[in-house]
A and B are shown apart, each in its own frame.
Chain A
């Protein structure tokens, strides 16, 4: 498969997943605010922090009001990680590889983009809750259509890698944000507000119901364990890493547990680390410090994949 094509399908999936995650955060926060007791300041800044683009936001929009944050993260066409920009880039990638993906995939991404664009242009009324749910569903639809209509070949596997790396990255960021910023002060720990926030965090990852089935009580350690280490929950970091590794080995044909290029080595190492890690060790390291390292590893895997498969190497 052409390197450019592999690169495009990888980013196509990353950007759709990214758009979905932004919609998740915003929607969860909108819900959370409805439950916030009077007198407690609405928290919008953490959402921007999750994206890692806080300083850019402050420079462009100033204060983190609901309106500013939603506009920035959803419709700002100059901000490359807004939902609108993500979908524009995803669609552009899809357009450049239309002959490789199924026409159903193209039609889905095409109408997805126009749905968001029409909302951005004010062509359809903007009902935040409905809109963000629709974005989430459109992303699921895309993943489902891709799964059901495209041959599970090399290209499909590159798409999977893109989707799962992006998801692992976002799950880590959500968790980190709660730990650092949602917690206004120590006296709130264990309060109703605290519990509501942890629940909303689980909802950001569509993990609330699944978490409840696994462990009934809401506890910070339990949630961290679930979102980092669960083997079966499709948005946990470990699950994402396992799936990405599986697809990578399908592409190269290298047997599991061995490696033939830096990408496989980096990803295999990360997966193995998660396989044998306990949540106590994570807490001991410090959740934020742990997540910070994890994000760097995920990032490193992404770079290795680029170097191994996509980069146009100079020809001597």
Chain B
């Protein structure tokens, strides 16, 4: 298999400028691939997949009571991001996360941004992620969004856009680390010759960010990762992160509130917990305050949290900024809180609650991507270009019934990367989810998860919709 004949066609390709013309940063990779004997690449691909399955780097498929696990399909051709490009993304992401944090802090406090007329109060109050019980909360250091995974895409002209910010429990970092581990053995020579920024230190950075939240400077704080349990689709990741950080992985039933503190049940009695990296959504975390039917959470946790006796990452209430309608206002937030112009652009977004936008959306459904404000994982979505008339009619009905819940965006023609499909190279569309940690400072982890749409021509990259992943190489120079 050679890349000589690979034609990027009329798309922005991450590795090629044109047919037979690798981008400068990708040249050593392309030469290496072309030098491999035929079949070699596919063999490496299979070895990599097997290694991932053996490691149990799997996700669970919902709605299958036999507990089917799948590996996230992995493609050995990496995507490469040049150093200057990364520098821009890094600056843009820091600016964005800083502003989002200012926004969340403000919205649960004085709500200046509303009072100054930048964002309508209605939108805040109707955001599912806005939690009345969190008003007045002061998380340690005023930081709310400790861990964010921001989805970026690149359009035909090579321009980067922010697609969404995931501030609740963004998944995927474990695949970034495991993919890299597999890649290092598949392409060890390239790692020696190219200056690829390492990714293995993520768990250390995560642990530092969590320890930064410790109340009252305890000398030996107990940090835990809170998981819904082994049936959660991202269970592998929860377990992986706890293991890599050397902290306890706990489920709700391991925890209990006693004497005003959060404590875990151990073989030697109760032990106090100081910092919780929760991978459970707000709704499920405390049945006394949020969903009463939740079996996953810990009754009374919110009170302990309000009293400052436990720190939670991400802070409760952070999900307000996950709302896709609120997302549309991030550029305004950057201007409002920082007095700066956004470095990274949003995808142009139509808000259906606004009459003018809604009329446009309803008239142009076949050109647009419509998304529900609070869904994730590729659910609740209409891709206009691939839709049937019935699907469009159905979405038109839903939008009219609940305009606040829908946004629409023009179809971005995502950039592509050569990918092995049926023993050939084919350009497949990708996005990029870098992970950003907010501890003492904001840290952008170099790289992130590159998801790839493995169905021919598809623009949907979610794992639950049959997407795969690639390693992301950020170059140091």
Contacts and interface: CB of A to CB of B under 8 A. Distances in A.
Contacts of B235: 95
Contact of B266 (A3, A96, A107, A158): A3
Contacts of A310: 267
A96 B67 CA distance: 14
Given A2-B254, A4-B251, A92-B230, A251 B55 contact: no
Contacts of B266: 1-3
By secondary structure, the B interface counts as mixed
B253 A312 contact: yes
Interface in A265-310: 309-310
A312 B255 CA distance: 10
Interface of A: 1-6, 92, 95-99, 103, 106-107, 110-111, 154, 158, 251, 309-310, 312-313, 315
B256 interface: yes
Contacts of A154: 267
Nearest to B225: A99
B230 A4 contact: no
B265 A98 contact: no
Interface of B: 54-56, 229-230, 235, 239-240, 242-243, 248-251, 253-254, 256, 258, 264-268
Nearest to B248: A2
B239 A99 contact: yes
B254 A4 contact: yes
A95 B56 contact: yes
B302 to A, nearest CB: 18
A111 B403 CA distance: 50
Contacts of B248: 2, 5, 99
A6 B248 CA distance: 12
Nearest to A155: B267
- Of A5, A96, A98, A154, the most chain B CB neighbours within 10 A belong to A98
Given A6-B267, A111-B54, A154-B267, A95 B256 contact: no
Contact of B55 (A92, A99, A107, A312): A107
Contact of B265 (A4, A97, A111): A4
Contacts of A99: 239-240, 242-243, 248-249
Nearest to B245: A99
B229 A96 contact: yes
A111 B56 CA distance: 10
Q: Which 4 A-B pairs have the closest CB atoms?
A: A99-B243, A99-B242, A98-B239, A309-B267
Contacts of B267: 1-3, 6, 154, 158, 251, 309-310
Contacts of A98: 56, 239-240, 243
